[in-house]
Amino acid sequence: MNSSREQIEQIKERLDIVDVISKYVNLKQTGKNYSGLCPFHSEKTPSFIVSPELQRYKCFGCGEAGDIFNFVQKIENIDFVETLEKLAKEAGVKLIKKAPNTHLQRLEEINKKAAIYYYKQLRKHKDALEYIHERGITDQSIKDFGIGYAPGGFGLLDSIQKDSKYSKKELLLSGLFILKNDKLREKFFRRIMFPIRSSSGKVIAFTARVLPSNKYGPKYMNSPETPIYQKKNNLYGQYESRQQIRKDDLVILCEGQTDVIAAFQAGIKNIVAPLGTALTKEQLERISRLTKNILFIFDTDTAGQQALEKAFVLSQQLSLNTYATSTSPYKDIDELIKHEPKKIKEVISKKVDAYTFMLVNLLEKRDLNRLEDYQKTVSWMERMLSFVVNPTLSSFYVKSGLNLTKIDLSKKTAQMTRPKEEVECGRSPIIPQDLEVLFLQELLFQKDIEIDKNIKLKYFFNSEVKEILRYIKREQNLDREKILNKFDDNNLIKNLLQESIFSFSKEQGSKDELELLYSSIVKNYFKRKETEYGIKIASAEQMRNSKESKKLLEEFQKLTNEKRKYEENSRL
Query: Is the previous residue joined to 227 through a cis bond, with omega within 30 degrees of 0?
Result: no
Closest of 466, 464, 431 to residue 451, by C-alpha? 466
In 401-414, which positions are buried (b, 16+ CB within 10 angstroms) versus exposed (e)? bbbbbbbbbeeeee
**451 and 553 share one domain:** yes
Residue 23 placed within a domain: yes
**80 and 115 share one domain:** no
Handedness of CA 181, 185, 190, 192 (dihedral sign): positive
Has residue 572 got a pLDDT over 70? no
**Residue 423: its pLDDT value, please?**
34
CA distance 206 to 198: 11
**Residue 425: its pLDDT value, please?**
35
- What's the burial of 370, exposed, middle or buried (CB within 10 Å: 0-12/13-18/19+)? middle
**526 and 451 share one domain:** yes
Closest of 375, 368, 348, 144 to residue 261, by C-alpha? 144
Residue 305 placed within a domain: yes
Closest of 502, 503, 520, 526 to residue 437, by C-alpha? 520
Has residue 416 got a pLDDT over 70? no
Strands 191-197 and 148-150: antiparallel
**220 and 299 share one domain:** no
**291 and 372 share one domain:** no
Instruction: Express each pLDDT in 346-398 by its tens digit.
Output: 999 989 999 999 999 898 888 887 888 888 999 999 999 989 888 888 889 99
The terminus-to-terminus CA distance of the chain in angstroms comes to 98
Mean pLDDT of 309-336: 93
**306 and 216 share one domain:** no
Q: How many domains does the chain have?
A: 5
Question: Has this prediction a pTM greater than 0.85?
Answer: no
Residue 272 placed within a domain: yes
Has residue 243 got a pLDDT over 90? no
Q: What is the CATH number of the domain that holds 124?
A: 3.90.980.10
**128 and 220 share one domain:** yes
Instruction: Express each pLDDT in 329-360 by its tens digit.
Output: 999 999 999 999 999 999 999 899 999 999 99
> Range of 409's domain?
366-417
Angle between helices 511-542 and 546-571 (to 10 degrees): 160
